Chain A
Amino acid sequence: MEELQRRLLEMGGLVEAAIHGSVQALAQRDGEAARQVLESEERINRMEMENDSLTIGLLSRAGTDAGGLRLLVAAIKINHDLERMGDLAANIARRALTLMEEPPVKPLIDIPRMAQLAERMVGQSLDAFVQRDAALARAVLADDDEVDGLRDSIYQELARFMQEEPGTVPRALNLLFVARNLERIADHATNIAEDVLFLVEGIDVRHTG
């Protein structure tokens, strides 16, 4: 059980680094960072499979109490969320590699902010998992709205660019995908926070507005 938790956190660390690297690749046009993210994606995928079989092994063991079962169920979900975040970070890294080949559409302001926020949410959701901290998990849930707001303003801004200057459309579309990926990373962080609440308080906060 402890081993599982340790592995989830280690995987979380990889995912955090991947997200950070992908945004760095994008903002600073750092091809090396992007390639590292793509490499770590494979490791993350491997870890997901290993964690899954570990969890299934633990599940089939008799005599697990209610708290233990909750942890295992949460672990399955967190494992999946982390793996998806790794994929999304890899997507961002790929877009960053494409964008590097062309001059920037505009100075990036909102995307790094959004990335910072998403990164913080991922970190906090994992910290909440470590410390079984319901308050921290709730803070992550609250941040999600801000990410959604940022995504909307990025959409509008990019739409304006595309209308004014059709030459920027392919690049703007790539940025749009990046924003979408970041927003989905934030969603997965929210999922983890919800799992933590389920783990700590045994309540289900999904789909309650």
Chain B
Amino acid sequence: MQLSRSHTLASPLFRKILLSAFVLILATVGSADFLMTRYTEQRELELVQQDLELVGQIYRERLSGLTAEQVEDWARKADGQSGARVTIIGTDGAVLAESRRERGSMENHAQRPEVRSALKGGTGVAKRHSASLGVDFLYVAEPARTGDGKGVVLRLAVPLARVNESLRAVRWRILRASLALALLALIAAYLYTRTLTRRIRNIQSYAEGLANERLSEEPELAEGGKDELGALAGSLRGMARQLRGMVELLRVESERREAILSSMKEGVLAVDEELRVTFCNEAFLRAAGAAAEAPDHKPLVQLARNPGFLSLLRQVLASGDTVRGKLPLAPASGRSFEVYAKPLDQGAHRGALAILHDITEVERLERVRKDFVANVSHELRTPLAAIRGYAETLLDGALEDAEHNRQFLEIIRSNAIRLTNIASDLLVLSAMEQDRAEQEPAEAVEVQSVVEAALRTVESAARVRSVALLIEEQPGLRVRGQRFRLEQALVNLMDNAVKFSRAGATVKVESGMTTEGMVAIRVSDEGIGIPSEDLPRIFERFYRVDKARSREAGGTGLGLSIVKHIAEAFGGTVRVESELGKGSAFTLTFPAA
């Protein structure tokens, strides 16, 4: 990541480091400068003082050879030679000679500090404003003697202005050097701080990226220094790798869970204590007939209003027990559900979990099975009762009744035939189920020949009822399955068609390919048709639309059930269309062989 300069300057860390570096550098360089200057000044003054002392040494020698009268002239000459002001002061403080002024105008010098030191026998040094000349002077005074043995004080002085001038030049040089040094240090500090800040910035933004879960987008952290920051970056990278791994793991896990829940046929619903939806899967939304949208803590009533369901969940929440129930979730849909609801403890959040199992189909099958058992016994009992009844009548004496006995025996026989038919149809059905379980070998069956064979079977019955049979077929169609089963299915359909046709009507058998490449065989009649409310149930065993009429026509109530089983064994389907009074059409559809 490249930071702009202003960006770097805006960084508080950068500013802090730079500011302290700045203060530190200035303080160091400043005090160094100050000390250097002081030292140099001192040195310079000392040098000047030493010079003066040296000159004083020479002058003292000279002075010892002079009389008091010569002193004044000498002083002026000496000043001219050395450039140092020469003053000679008597022990009483009176100025005896002065190189730069008239002696008479000078006041008593006994109280001057340098003079006082010299009078006590030492060397006096002072830096002071000269009251006599109005300039800053460095004075050095020493005791001396004139030629006539009189004790005096020899005082030499140089104007400080001269010293100061040379000092200023030195000071300025030192200052320049200090400034250059400070500048260099500042630049170095700036560059170092900038690099440091950038590296920290990089690590920071990388860590922010981690925190914001932009794990996959974030480019790899480029930081690779060998210092602590480099190590920090290294551990961050390691952490990111681990995080990425964990997030990926969680994502996969939650996706898997989501996939499992949404692909479940069972509706799953989780609610909190106030019956707000915390989770539900698609199956639940379908079951509730609700528009598919994220529930997002909505009250459950907005999805499902069924009072039974609501009170069941309330019961679970109140009692903390698992509750089961059967109820319709949306009464209008006509579907019923088995609900299994249990309390859900998620730490502080209590709630309930409900699993809904659609038992509409189970209940329907249950009903079909119950009906079947009831029907079988009923179907068997009716002919058996007739046979028994007529047999008893015959035994009771009707056997001798030449007029009726034959008729009774006919009835017994026809009922026995019905029983046989029922038994054989039931056998066919159970054999079909057996077949499906055992995967009977299938062969390619030519449809045309099967239709013709079926036709021969029902021909006589059609002739008796004067129903015309019309075949329209496409040659060369083949399906996979067992030949005799297909023939049975066609016979059943054609037989039904003939039975429910009026005299003079036509039964049509058509075969051909559908647009989807399936083989379709259609048997249609112009008979009485089937009421629409019966249509969904006619393929059930023993289901009869018109019980009396069907039985009279000799049906067992199993024919269409057998057709459906056969169609399914062939991997196909059977469909019915019918209009009351206009006729029915059954279409068998099979995959082509």
- Residues of A with Cβ closer than 8 Å to B? 2, 5-6, 9-10, 12-14, 16-17, 19-20, 40, 109, 116, 119-120, 123, 126-127, 130-131
Contacts and interface: CB of A to CB of B under 8 A. Distances in A.
Given A13-B306, A17-B308, A20-B328, 10 more contacts: A5-B299, A10-B301, A12-B305, A13-B301, A16-B306, A16-B332, A40-B307, A120-B332, A123-B330, A127-B290
B291 interface: yes
A130 to B, nearest CB: 5
A5 B331 CA distance: 21
B331 A20 contact: yes
A14 B331 CA distance: 11
B305 A13 contact: yes
Interface residues of B, number: 17
Nearest to B301: A9
Given A119-B332, A120-B332, A123-B330, A17 B291 contact: no
B461 to A, nearest CB: 32
A161 to B, nearest CB: 19
Given A20-B331, A123-B330, A2 B307 contact: no
A126 B306 CA distance: 12
B296 to A, nearest CB: 14
A10 B332 contact: no
Contacts, number: 46
A126 B303 CA distance: 11
Which 7 residue pairs across A and B have the least CB separation, nearest first? A13-B305, A20-B331, A9-B301, A130-B302, A14-B307, A6-B299, A119-B332
B547 to A, nearest CB: 14
B310 interface: yes
Nearest to B274: A6
Interface string B91-106: 0000000000000000
Interface in B527-544: 533
A131 B299 contact: no
A9 B332 contact: no
B306 A17 contact: yes
A5 B301 CA distance: 9
A16 B302 contact: no
A16 B291 contact: no
Given A2-B299, A130-B302, A131-B291, A10 B330 contact: no
- Interface SS majority for chain A: helix
Interface in B288-328: 289-291, 299, 301-302, 304-308, 310, 328
Contacts of B330: 123
Given A20-B328, A119-B332, A123-B332, A6 B301 contact: yes
23 contacts: A6-B301, A9-B299, A9-B305, A10-B307, A10-B310, A12-B305, A13-B301, A13-B304, A13-B305, A13-B306, A16-B331, A16-B332, A17-B306, A17-B307, A17-B331, A19-B331, A40-B307, A109-B533, A119-B331, A123-B289, A123-B330, A123-B332, A131-B291
A78 to B, nearest CB: 13
Contacts of B289: 123
B328 A9 contact: no
B302 A9 contact: yes
Nearest to B302: A130
A40 to B, nearest CB: 7
A131 B291 CA distance: 9
A116 B305 contact: no
B18 to A, nearest CB: 56
Contacts of A120: 332
A119 B330 CA distance: 10
B288 to A, nearest CB: 10
A107 B345 CA distance: 51
